[in-house]
A and B are shown apart, each in its own frame.
Chain A
């Protein structure tokens, strides 16, 4: 090996260039494309416990644009599980989205975070079509189903998560895999009954015991981190692998397949994960709908 070649090698592996690139370590992952990540636009609905984790992960990974939607304000009881909130914000009851936006800027100033202080059913529905992935970090079934319906309609990948104490769940929905199920497929008559009771009795009859997830469920920061981590992993998989999927109708083996039509359940008590296949409902209102000519 002559002197010139050796110099070239040294230049490629220069210590300075390795450590001055913020994303160097993740670029070493096979199949990783940082340009795709930094051009991605992600919509995160709800920035509570899981939403904080997801936004934090996406911001650190260098995602280009993140739209966060939440109309709620910070309370002191949120502080045990939300990394981007702080005591001062809780004291002055600041909006969650404002605080998350500010904290994200400190973590990574290159990321553009757009904050939207609106209820989900009041937002412009075209937004679902303008983003690459929709992430739902919500606490109630109505909003989840609505986000699922619109994301499915606009062919946007949709990732839902839920937590309750030691247990958590993640599921992805993608309309370009038409044989896979959506969130509405799993809605039972019991869920519809609960929706109706909440709607007609202003929530008085509903408590956490009878299955509703409206008020004051148990949350634990460790479960939140696990579920938020898995959910943001699915986002990255979609960003990196969706072009390959659209070209070849299968997922890039280097990236892996997201949890489409499958539900990952985490049990923190037994330290186990299991994945169940969710079957497509042949009469689903959202994804099995067929236009019948009258």
Chain B
């Protein structure tokens, strides 16, 4: 993959990070600069669901805060410059989280979303994070990841829409962008 000269790369990333800080999805001290890459944790707010302790999909619990690990290497913003890992637990057909509730195994953290793979000229981290928020609230059960928990989630979300679940838990459909007065919430799962 091609590279940008290191100074342009750093400036571009600083611009991107300041946009993320305006979105209130990243804490300044969670950005760690290494020689050839940058690691950061993104905290997004979106209405998702996790399995209960018994692992039964009938006992889903709502979860509104999610943690994503990002690693940006020197290829950024060219394709392949960015790695995502979904860190907090979630029950979702297109996300295989690192922490899977009710089991001791670790997942891959893999996220199935086109904008992560097909990085275009107009792509930036801000819009990517917004796309991740939308993905949490709009699962695509027709194209699940080939992991047991994701297949299970696909089956479940084919029968139950997010709207039904929101009604069940009396969740307000509050857009994450509007909650600007809130501080960043650090999640410890």
Residue numbers of A with Cβ under 8 A of B are: 121, 125, 142-143, 145-146, 149-150, 153, 187-189, 192-193, 195-196, 199-200, 281, 283, 285-286, 289, 291-292, 294
Contact = CB atoms under 8 A, between A and B. Distances in A.
B152 to A, nearest CB: 27
Contact of A149 (B3, B118, B122): B3
Interface stretch (B10-18, B56-64, B178-186): B10-18
A199 B4 contact: no
Nearest to A140: B2
B5 A196 contact: no
Contacts of B119: 192, 196
A195 B5 contact: no
A153 B79 contact: no
Contact of A125 (B5, B12, B15, B17): B5
Contacts of A285: 4, 8, 12, 77, 121
B11 A199 contact: no
B1 A149 contact: no
B11 A195 contact: no
Given A289-B8, A294-B15, A294-B18, A196 B118 contact: yes
A200 B82 CA distance: 13
Give me the 3 closest cross-chain CB pairs, A-B, nearest first. Answer: A196-B79, A294-B18, A146-B2
Nearest to A153: B5
A150 B5 CA distance: 6
B120 A199 contact: no
A192 to B, nearest CB: 6
Interface in B1-57: 1-5, 7-8, 11-12, 14-15, 17-18, 21
A125 B7 CA distance: 12
Contacts of B21: 294
Contacts of A146: 2-3
A199 B122 CA distance: 20
A283 B1 contact: no
B1 A195 contact: yes
B117 interface: yes
Nearest to A188: B121
Which of B1, B5, B18, B80 has its CB near the most chain A CB atoms (within 10 A)?
Answer: B5
B14 A289 contact: no
Interface string B94-109: 0000000000000000
A151 to B, nearest CB: 10
A281 B118 CA distance: 20
A187 B2 CA distance: 12
Given A146-B2, A149-B3, A283-B121, A294 B78 contact: no
A94 B151 CA distance: 54
Contacts of A199: 1, 79-80
Given A142-B1, A143-B2, A200-B79, 18 more contacts: A125-B5, A146-B2, A149-B2, A153-B5, A153-B7, A195-B2, A195-B78, A196-B79, A283-B122, A285-B4, A285-B77, A289-B8, A292-B15, A292-B18, A294-B15, A294-B17, A294-B18, A294-B21
Contact of B8 (A153, A200, A281): A153
Most buried by A among B3, B14, B18: B3
B28 to A, nearest CB: 10
B41 to A, nearest CB: 19
A289 B8 CA distance: 8
Contacts of A286: 4, 8
A192 B77 CA distance: 10
B12 A289 contact: yes
B166 to A, nearest CB: 35
Q: Which residue of B3, B4, B77, B120 has the most chain A CB atoms within 10 A of its CB atom?
A: B4
